[in-house]
Amino acid sequence: MGKVMSDNWCKIYDAANSLEAHSLKGMLEAQHIAVQLSGEGLGSAVGELPTNAVEVGLWVRDFQQSSAQRLLAEYEQADQTAWVCAGCGEQNGSQFELCWQCGRDRAAGS
């Protein structure tokens, strides 16, 4: 009898904005963790709502929660020194090894 996978989702993180949310979603999905986002549509209300009301929530299935929380803790503890992609000039957080804009490897030059 195989492991029963739950379809329950739990909120594990509030990203400051849609850009951070999608970056984190990509990071988690690269580790085979399913992610859903909530609150993206509120970004247009910036200035009319409190700042934390426009945060984008990241949700994962409950059986993947501990793995996702570990990866997010590593993200939060990472040195926040950004690097600039040599390919497209985009600024990326230090925790990312690939440019979120063009996908170029950080080791290819920064």
Is pLDDT of 109 > 50? yes
Tokens 């000039």 found at: 89
Q: What average pLDDT does range 78-95 have in this prediction? A: 82
pLDDT confidence of residue 75: 84
Helix (H) or strand (E) holding 61: strand 56-61
C-alpha–C-alpha distance, residues 49 and 70, integer Å: 31
Is pLDDT of 7 > 90? no
Is pLDDT of 47 > 60? no
DSSP 11: E
**Interval 61-72: pLDDT, tens:** 999 999 999 999
Is pLDDT of 10 > 70? yes
Confidence of residue 77 (pLDDT cuts 50, 70, 90): confident
Contact 6, 62 (CB under 8 A): yes
The whole-chain average pLDDT of the chain stands at 82
Looking at the chain, the whole-number percentage of residues with pLDDT higher than 90 is 45
Q: Which residues pair with 9 in a beta bridge?
A: 61
Burial 48-76 (b: 16+ CB within 10 A, else e): eeeeeebbbebbbbeebbeebeebbeebe
pLDDT confidence of residue 100: 84
Q: What average pLDDT does range 95-102 have in this prediction? A: 85
